Structure 1
Amino acid sequence: MNNLLKLSFILIALAGGFFLDELIKVLGIKHAKSLPATNCSVSKVVCVHDEISIIADKDITQPLKPTKIDVYWPNSKQDYLMLTLEGYEMMMGEVMFRLDKTSHHSFSGEIILPVCTENSMTWFGQLTDGEQLINTSIRMEQ
C-alpha cells in the first residue's frame, strides 16, 4: 500500500508538471515579470518614443563587451540620463549606466552587461532624465 501511494504521488506530480503551462494559461496567471507594453528596443534601428530617439551601435550586445548608446532627448535640461536594466529571463540584479550630454539635446554612453549562464537574455528597464522615463529593452547573446 505504501509503494502504491508513492507511485500515485509521482504520477500526479508528473502529470501536473506536464499540464502546468496549460493550467497557467487557463487560469490566467501571469508571469511575475512582464515587459512593459510600450517598450523601446535598443538596437541599430532608431526607436522613437515621444520625440525621444534611441539608437545603439549594434543590434545584439554581448556580455562584457561595450555597446554604445546615443539618445536624442529634445526637452531635457539635464546634464545626463540614467539607464537602469534588469534581466528578464534570469534574476541578475539591477545595473545602472549614466549617459552624458554630448551636445544641446544629445546624450551618449557605453553599457557593459554582465556574463550570464544562459546563451541569450533580454535586459529591460527604464531610461530617464529625472522627469520623464522611457521603458527600454536590450537583447544580449553570448
Structure 2
Amino acid sequence: MNNKVKVLFVALALGAGFFIPSLLKHEPSADVDLTDYCMLSQQVCEQQGVKMKVDAPRVTPLTPITVEVFWPESEAPNLNISLQGKEMNMGVVKYQLEMIKPDVYQGEIILPVCAEDSMTWYGTVSNGDSDIKAAVRMTAR
C-alpha cells in the first residue's frame, strides 16, 4: 500500500478517536429534573431535614454570597458543595462550608461568569456520609 494512503488512514483513525467520543457523549445536565433539588434563595429550603439558604436576594456572577446550612446531628467539621451548570457546561465548581456552631455551617461561594444572561447551577451538599441535592439560579443583571 502507498505510504501516503497509510499516513492518511492513521490520521483519520486518530481524528476519529479524538472527536467521536465527544460527539457520542450524551449531555446529562439538560435532562436534570430540578424539582428534586432544593432551590437556594433567601427563603429557607428543606430537604431530608437539612435546611439551606443564601444571604442575597439575587445571585450574580463573581459576587460572593453566603450559604448557610443547618444539618442536624452532623458531626462533620465542614460540608462540601459541588455545582455544575445546567444550561452550559462550565465544569464543576467546589466549595467548603465551615461549621460555625453545632449543626450550622456557613461559607462563601462565588459563581463564575457565563455567556448566558442566566444559568442554573445544580449539584450536591455533602457531609461525607450523605448528599443533599441543591441548586441556585444565577442572573447576570
Alignment of 1:9-24 (within 5 A): none
Letter in 1 for 2:58: I
From 15, 32, 35, the equivalent of 2:28 is 32
Residue of structure 1 equivalent to 2:59: 61
Give the Cα–Cα distance (whole angstroms) in 1 for the partners of residues 28 and 47 of structure 2.
26
- Give, in angstroms, the shift of residue 31 of structure 1: 7.0
Letter in 2 for 1:42: L
Contact kept? 1:36, 1:135, Cα under 8 Å: no
Deviations 1:109-133 (A, max 9, x none): 0100001010100000000001011
1:75 paired to 2:61:
no
SS in 1 for 2:115: coil
Deviations 1:54-93 (A, max 9, x none): 0101243110000101010012110000000000000000
Residue of structure 1 equivalent to 2:99: 101
Normalising by the residue count of structure 1, what TM-score does the alignment of the two structures yield?
Answer: 0.75
Contact kept? 1:42, 1:59, Cα under 8 Å: no
Letter in 1 for 2:133: N
Contact kept? 1:121, 1:141, Cα under 8 Å: yes
Share of identical aligned residues, percent? 35
Contact kept? 2:34, 2:135, Cα under 8 Å: no
Contact kept? 1:47, 1:53, Cα under 8 Å: yes
Letter in 1 for 2:105: F
- Give, in angstroms, the shift of residue 35 of structure 1: 3.1
Residue of structure 1 equivalent to 2:41: 43
Structure 2 unaligned residues grouped into runs of 5+:
1-25
Give the Cα–Cα distance (whole angstroms) in 2 for the partners of residues 68 and 37 of structure 1.
23
Structure 1 unaligned residues grouped into runs of 5+:
1-29
Letter in 2 for 1:38: D
